[in-house]
Amino acid sequence: MKRAFLTNLLIAIGLLSVIPDTHAAPPDVGSAATEAAFRDLYKELVETNTTLSSGSCTLAAERMAARLKAAGFADADLHPFAAPDHPKEGGLVAVYLGRDKKLKSILLLAHIDVVEAKREDWTRDPFKLVEENGSFYARGAFDDKAEAAIWVDTLIRYRHENFKPRRTLKLALTCGEETAGAFNGAQWLSQNQKDLIDSEFAINEGAFGELDAQGNRVALQVEAGEKFPQNYRLDVVNRGGHSSRPVKDNAIYRLAGALKKIEGYDFPAQFTDGSRAYFTGMAKIQATRGNSDVATAMNALVKDPNDAQSIALVSSKDPSWNATLRTTCVATMLDGGHATNALPQRARANINCRIFPGVSAETVRQKLEELVADPAVKVTTLETRGPSSPPPPLTPRVLGPVQKLTAQFWPGLPVLPVLQPGATDGEFLNAVGIPTYGIEPVFAGPDLGNIHGLNEYVGVKALLEGRDFLYRLVKIYADGK
């Protein structure tokens, strides 16, 4: 069944297609007036600081609620929420009622919190939206206020047009996606208010429009499934002593030895239907770009998941391809010692793993312990972010409209399913039975707009194209039978 499924999937997503016309202009679906309204909304959202340290998601959600209300949303359709002990980490659920109450709704999800940013590290003020040389610069300009603003703007446009969809549309703006341990709105809603957000499926961040380093469009990604983030701690303790009389048994050296063993290990390659389709599609793209060795290897590993040579070649070419093939674990933080003139009594390291769907956190912990093979090095599983869940099925219902619009916007451009190596709040919704897909047709280059980093940015044209694409995509889903 699987192989036939893959071929059907490939045919369905038109990967067996032509060379893409990377410069075709997409059809215009928005007036200048609506674009100006969008820019104004986007600016307000971006310039509302929503970092955990000094911002307020609750304020940002209130401002978006005010705009929806001004557009005609009734109070009964606006559901602001905040936990009493996390007053600044609130969010909003908005409901746009459909004609047929028997049909399940479609959920539009976006997180409004952003990663921390220090003014002194940035070229511009990270909390001021700056438009320069065709790009918008600010913290959250891309991740994830681009899609959050597009969702709010889209519902406002529908309201102004008096659009009456078959299905109800729901919008959830949530906080806490970027920080483990903070109040996560998507988790809270899925576990405490599931009825309020329950839907046939949800659309979220998690996949983008892929540009190559020259700025040519490569493919439009659709996320179907994500790996599971999990931190582990390696811990070594030692009785220490005076550094003038060193002994062989040293906490830092033991830890270093353990880290080297983890560094040298690659978890076995694994596949989901989505990642098989990804490599099959990417093989075609690589072939059109003259990278025949990579194309051959990708086709080979799809045929034979144990083809070590092909897997090694593909893994070595691009960290994203390596991350799509397997569980990965990497050292991200280190601390050890307590005084310069004393033998260390303790040394610790954080190992951040991205676990392949279907693999448990404990299985990975045991593997790390086996690799380290040193009873003095304790391997502990740290706080688990949330449940790991199987990838949602990539159905023609979800994929069909994306391809149809892609053919109109960017003729010949492949639509590629991806297994997201990073994590999104989709994991909480998938876990409670709301299949969640990453669809964000905003094109970005290999630096992904420096999300989470310094001087985050998004292309103005890319953002506006993504806005028009999603405005039309949601209409198709909302009117779907």
Query: In the complex, which residues of this chain contact Zn ion (CB under 5 A)?
Result: 143-144
Nearer to Zn ion, 143 or 369 (CB): 143
Rounded least distance, CB 169 to Zn ion, Å: 21
- Tokens 């559901």, located at residue: 79
Tokens (6 digits) for 63 = 């401002």
Nearer to Zn ion, 143 or 468 (CB): 143
Alpha helices in 47-118 (DSSP H): 57-70
Residue 272 to residue 433: CA distance in whole angstroms: 19
- Tokens 């876990």, located at residue: 431
Rounded least distance, CB 319 to Zn ion, Å: 19
Rounded least distance, CB 202 to Zn ion, Å: 15
Rounded least distance, CB 177 to Zn ion, Å: 6
Residue 411 to residue 406: CA distance in whole angstroms: 7
Residue 42 to residue 146: CA distance in whole angstroms: 7
φ and ψ at residue 177, rounded to 5 degrees: -70, -35
- Contact of 240 with 344, CB cutoff 8 Å: yes
Nearer to Zn ion, 77 or 143 (CB): 143
Burial of residue 149, with CB atoms counted within 10 A of its CB: 0-12 exposed, 13-18 middle, 19 or more buried? buried
Return the bridge partners of 323, or none: none
Rounded least distance, CB 137 to Zn ion, Å: 17
With H, G, I as helix, E, B as strand and everything else as coil, classify residue 142: coil
Rounded least distance, CB 420 to Zn ion, Å: 11
Written as one letter, the residue type at 194 is K
Rounded least distance, CB 436 to Zn ion, Å: 13
- Contact of 39 with 151, CB cutoff 8 Å: no
Return the bridge partners of 400, or none: none
Rounded least distance, CB 32 to Zn ion, Å: 30
Return the bridge partners of 132, or none: 135
Residue 314 to residue 1: CA distance in whole angstroms: 26
Return the bridge partners of 111, or none: 174
Residue 88 to residue 70: CA distance in whole angstroms: 23
